[in-house]
Structure 1
Amino acid sequence: MSLALPSLEPRQEQPQTTTSGEIQEIDIFHRFDVVSDSSDHHYLDIISKENNSGSKKNKGEGGSFSNISSGVYKKIMQEWKILEKHLPDSIYVRVYENRIDLLRAVIIGAAGTPYHDGLYFFDIAFPPDFPARPPLVHYRSFGLRINPNLYANGRVCLSLLNTWPGKKREKWNSSESTVLQVLVSLQALVLNEKPYYNEPGNGVLPGRAIWEKKSNAYSENVFFLSCKTMLFLLRRPPTNFEGFVTGHFREKASAILSACHAYINGEVRVGFYRNDGSCSSCKSSPHVHVSEKFKGLMGQLYPQLVSSFKRNGASLGDFLEQLKQPVEKKTLSFEGKTVRMIFGKLKKVLGLKKKDNSGKSGAKSNGS
């Protein structure tokens, strides 16, 4: 039976008619689609060289990726079909019509983890002898290490990729394993609730309280680095995902800033904020410990997030309205020094500071 191959044509959205009879273009970002521009893919040149160097071994087949009769080509088409049908709502994939050996995926950080509302991009490449070997996976890190399994240089450690020790059933199986399994594993096993314990040896010795304290500190740093990643993505979104990145952070901006406020304020433990303001795994205590280091780092980063989200078109009415009020009148419960630092920087960034008679930026004195 012949293999039904996915269409190589990118999807075109059909115009829809509004209630007033006007034609409206609906821009839907599908979870799976075929695109053409692979110019910024991490493996663009690496895999090309590897495939060309091994072309003699292909015995005149014309390359495993270009010959539609090759087993590798057919297997990749099967992978496309699986991804097209079974991707979860929080994972999006783009494959390339002229480079079927490459694909790019983005995972949306799950609620209840320090990765919530973030975007995490992975460049993936099929080796010339796929599926005998697992795909190559590179995390687009911007030089930040947000997880024990994700290195600052982009290296991804996962048993399923044979880049980390594991039991036989956990490693790549050429007859059963799929790219979809790799993506779901990255989301569930790597970008999880307590990534500190991904590091071998952490938590194995007695002293639960000590390990939990270290885990909470690690999650604080993960959230901070995830927020920095958001800034990098807004400045330089990966090709073919520009609109997706813009739309995602435009929609999630208020929730992300609310989470920052809740974490700095000690209202919710880092990673447990819900978009409705609730806590996914809170203790009964009304206040949780937050390190001074985290407060300081977020105090520096928070104004940049607000400014970047504003430029991106996010509706931040409530946040901007707060900035127009004198800091002294605010009823925030976390450290006053941190509050003044955050809102002082925000006012400067957003141009909300008034000028005094001397032309210098500053707040009005009580006698004016």
Structure 2
Amino acid sequence: MDMELDDSLIAEKIKEEKDDALDNVDDYLDDYADDDDDDVYSDYGDNDEYICEEDDELLKLQAQFDNADLPPGVEASVPWLQDPSPSKKRSPAGTSTSTSTSSVHEGTASASSSSKAESNSTVKKEEEMDEVLRKLMYFKQFDTVADCSDHHFLDMVSSGRKPSKDWVKKIQDEWKILEQNLPETIYVRVYESRMDLLRAVIIGPSGTPYHDGLFVFDAVFPPSYPNEPPMVHYHSSGFRLNPNLYECGKVCLSLLNTWTGGRNEMWVPNKSTMLQVLVSIQALILNTDPFFNEPGYEKTFTGSEGRKKSKEYSEDIFIKSLKKMMYTLRNPPQHFEDLVAGHFRVRAHDIMTACKAYVDGAELGCDVKKWLREGDKALKTSSPNFKAEVAKIMRPLLKYFIYNGSKECEKFQN
């Protein structure tokens, strides 16, 4: 009976240590990642004056992830990624190996209570799983919400002027367009008390280094809208994932007039829409070869050299995208908590399957199911460094997915 009692207490202790370790994630990342809300636009028209500052602490975080010289399958030595070692998993002080008759009965009762508690816990987790999936199923692609307290553009208000009726009508038209035409991989929330604000979450397209990731954007409609385009801020979480998406949140896109482009590529008053902006971000920025989004690279790096550099860049971006998934799970954007939990609950197995395939040699962005089915593993392979980096991050990523309720991912623990 004592052995059953000790095992129960040990299990509880392990769970407490695991929860404590996960609770440290927010503090750790907050110390190192950029604070997206620190820098606020001072003027609607100053797109060209958008200032980006390097964050030394962010570089320290990246160094811990990227510069750790570890063999495949071994994660970086970062506090919030470590498991308690077996030596730390001790039973509480005061547990004796010898028992009296009364202590045996107490142990039996405790073990029985523990068994019931574990059973109740299992039932509760299954109910929570069903609830998470139910919430995902009914999560609206477009909806109005009340609280905008964490919006990047919260403090940007017009100088006390009441919006014109034409402006209000135009924003209402934008809402209707979004509600009726959003693709399945873009979700939008607008605000009852602030019609000028909008938040969108875009799912990374398949076949790209952004696949299955969630990318958050805040937007504001200026008083001059639609004569001027909306302003858009990207929540980077401290990760530079694209030449057109800066760590400080700047989004370079011709349609936003934040980058050069042809006449038909720039913002056209009374014709261009917010829907076009979001779809353009997904299609033109989160694309298959983001390396060539950098101005001049398409002409400078051609042929095999260009393909090599593009492949290396995409592989690096994918590793950062996996890190961002963990950050997003711990820090879901307001009003999208159910989407984050449900999305990664559903997609976790496919993400881990893709990671395993990349470690085994599959090229990033390929059709993983086809690659596994047809076994054309000799045709295209990922680089040795990429294989090692993916293997290194799979373990902490797996912990997050399992903690989020993706039980089917437990098979990747071996």
Is 1:291 equivalent to 2:379 in the alignment? Answer: no
Is 1:237 equivalent to 2:332 in the alignment? Answer: yes
Name the counterpart of 1:70. Answer: 165
Name the counterpart of 2:406. Answer: 314
Is 1:304 equivalent to 2:396 in the alignment? Answer: yes
Name the counterpart of 1:256. Answer: 351
Asked if 1 retains the 8 angstrom alpha-carbon contact of 2:352 and 2:409, the reply is no
Output the CA distance in 2 between the equivalents of 1:310 and 1:273. Answer: 25
Output the CA distance in 1 between the equivalents of 2:371 and 2:258. Answer: 35
Which residue identity does 2:227 align to in structure 1?
A
Which residue identity does 1:63 align to in structure 2?
K
The CA deviation string for residues 43-73 of structure 1, in whole angstroms up to 9 with x for no partner, is 111x22xx12xx3xxxxxx511xxxx52111
Name the counterpart of 1:270. Answer: 364
Q: 1:284 Cα deviation (Å)?
A: 6.2
Q: 1:206 Cα deviation (Å)?
A: 6.8
Name the counterpart of 2:147. Answer: 37
Consecutive unaligned residues of structure 1, counting only runs of 5 or more, are 1-24, 56-61, 324-368
For residues 14-53 of structure 1, the aligned pairs below 5 Å read: 27=135, 28-45=138-155, 47-48=156-157, 51-52=158-159
Is 1:86 equivalent to 2:185 in the alignment? Answer: no
SS, match of residue 304 in structure 1 = helix
Output the CA distance in 2 between the equivalents of 1:206 and 1:226. Answer: 24
Q: 1:285 Cα deviation (Å)?
A: 5.9
Q: 1:293 Cα deviation (Å)?
A: 3.1
Output the CA distance in 2 between the equivalents of 1:195 and 1:283. Answer: 28
Name the counterpart of 1:147. Answer: 242
Asked if 2 retains the 8 angstrom alpha-carbon contact of 1:111 and 1:117, the reply is yes
The CA deviation string for residues 305-345 of structure 1, in whole angstroms up to 9 with x for no partner, is 1000011111235525x52xxxxxxxxxxxxxxxxxxxxxx
Is the alpha carbon distance of 1:26 and 1:288 closer, same or farther for their aligned partners in structure 2, counting shifts above 3 Å? closer
Is 1:215 equivalent to 2:310 in the alignment? Answer: yes
Is the alpha carbon distance of 1:283 and 1:262 closer, same or farther for their aligned partners in structure 2, counting shifts above 3 Å? closer
The CA deviation string for residues 60-100 of structure 1, in whole angstroms up to 9 with x for no partner, is xx511xxxx52111110110000000001111100011111
Is 1:132 equivalent to 2:227 in the alignment? Answer: yes
- Number of residue equivalences: 279
Which residue identity does 2:402 align to in structure 1?
K
- Which of 259, 271, 275 aligns to 1:176? It is 271
Output the CA distance in 1 between the equivalents of 2:257 and 2:194. Answer: 24
Aligned Cα root-mean-square deviation (Å): 2.1
Which residue identity does 1:30 align to in structure 2?
K
SS, match of residue 207 in structure 2 = coil
- Which of 256, 274, 279 aligns to 1:161? It is 256
Name the counterpart of 2:32. Answer: none
Which residue identity does 2:162 align to in structure 1?
G
SS, match of residue 143 in structure 1 = coil
Output the CA distance in 1 between the equivalents of 2:320 and 2:213. Answer: 10
Output the CA distance in 2 between the equivalents of 1:163 and 1:297. Answer: 34
Higher relative contact order (CA 8 A, sep 6+): 2
The normalised TM-score by structure 1 is 0.72
Is the alpha carbon distance of 1:124 and 1:317 closer, same or farther for their aligned partners in structure 2, counting shifts above 3 Å? closer
Asked if 2 retains the 8 angstrom alpha-carbon contact of 1:114 and 1:272, the reply is no
Output the CA distance in 2 between the equivalents of 1:283 and 1:147. Answer: 31
Q: 1:133 Cα deviation (Å)?
A: 1.0
Name the counterpart of 1:107. Answer: 202
Is the alpha carbon distance of 1:249 and 1:26 closer, same or farther for their aligned partners in structure 2, counting shifts above 3 Å? closer
Which residue identity does 1:36 align to in structure 2?
A
Output the CA distance in 1 between the equivalents of 2:329 and 2:409. Answer: 20
| Segments ≥4 residues shifted beyond 3 Å | 282-285
Is 1:98 equivalent to 2:190 in the alignment? Answer: no
Name the counterpart of 1:117. Answer: 212
| Fraction of identical pairs, as percent | 48
Is the alpha carbon distance of 1:173 and 1:262 closer, same or farther for their aligned partners in structure 2, counting shifts above 3 Å? same
Consecutive unaligned residues of structure 2, counting only runs of 5 or more, are 1-132
Output the CA distance in 1 between the equivalents of 2:331 and 2:377. Answer: 41
Asked if 2 retains the 8 angstrom alpha-carbon contact of 1:38 and 1:96, the reply is yes
SS, match of residue 149 in structure 1 = coil
Q: 1:195 Cα deviation (Å)?
A: 1.0
Which residue identity does 1:307 align to in structure 2?
K
Is the alpha carbon distance of 1:308 and 1:194 closer, same or farther for their aligned partners in structure 2, counting shifts above 3 Å? same
Output the CA distance in 2 between the equivalents of 1:243 and 1:206. Answer: 42
Q: 1:264 Cα deviation (Å)?
A: 1.8
The normalised TM-score by structure 2 is 0.64
The CA deviation string for residues 195-236 of structure 1, in whole angstroms up to 9 with x for no partner, is 111112223147411110111101101111111110010000
Quick check: which one's helix share is greater?
A: 2
Output the CA distance in 2 between the equivalents of 1:40 and 1:234. Answer: 17
Asked if 2 retains the 8 angstrom alpha-carbon contact of 1:149 and 1:158, the reply is yes
